Amino acid sequence: METPVLPKRAPRFTLAHISLALGLLGALLIVLGTLYLVFQPATPEYVDTSLAKADQTRQRDLHEIRDALKNYYQNNSQQYPVLTVTIDGANDPLSLELVPLYLKKMPVDADPSSPYYYASLTGKSFLLRARLSSGTLYEVTDETP
């Protein structure tokens, strides 16, 4: 009896071949995704949001200093510190007056080239000023609510 001759089959992909191809494809996607995230320029929305947050922090800082100055005023014969100073948070005269009695720590602008400014010429009123990201000045006085 003759053995039947089976037709030759076309080569098939094995599970190992498919797994290897999917693994290489996954590794390629991870590398490309990482490169995209690393070298992607900042989107305008992100930049606008971070600038807005920095400006909100500046405004909040000035209001915190204002509140401390009002407490100082109540405890010092209805008199604000008579100074004109940029606030560095450590050795400036206003920080020395307010910390630690009225503030735990003097708030300072995250941008060292644009420090907060305080002025009181008579001791009866004061002006606090910060430069916002847009370049405009934000001011708080003793009359600011």
Identify whether 109 is part of a domain.
yes
Whether 59 is covered by a domain: the verdict is: yes
Tens-digit pLDDT profile for residues 20-40: 999 999 999 999 988 887 777
Strand order in the sheet with 84-87: 84-87, 116-119, 127-131, 137-141
Angstrom distance (rounded) from CA 18 to CA 4: 32
In a domain, 31, yes or no: no
Burial of 126 (0-12, 13-18, 19+ CB in 10 A): buried
- Do 116 and 129 form a contact (C-beta atoms < 8 A)? yes
**Domain coverage including residue 82:** 52-141
Bridging pattern class, strands 127-131 and 137-141: antiparallel
The count of residues in the chain is 145
The rounded distance, in Å, linking the Cα atoms of 20 and 85 is 68
Do the domain assignments include residue 89? yes
Asked whether residue 125 is assigned to any structural domain, the reply reads yes
Are the C-beta atoms of residues 87 and 115 closer than 8 Å to each other? yes
Q: Which helix (H) or strand (E) holds 127?
A: strand 127-131
In a domain, 87, yes or no: yes
62 assigned to some structural domain:
yes
Q: How many domains does the chain have?
A: 1
pLDDT, tens digit, 9 for 90 and up, residues 94-112: 999 999 899 999 999 888 8
Greater pLDDT, 143 or 69: 69
Which pLDDT band holds residue 1 (cuts at 50, 70, 90)?
low
- Within-domain flag for 44: no
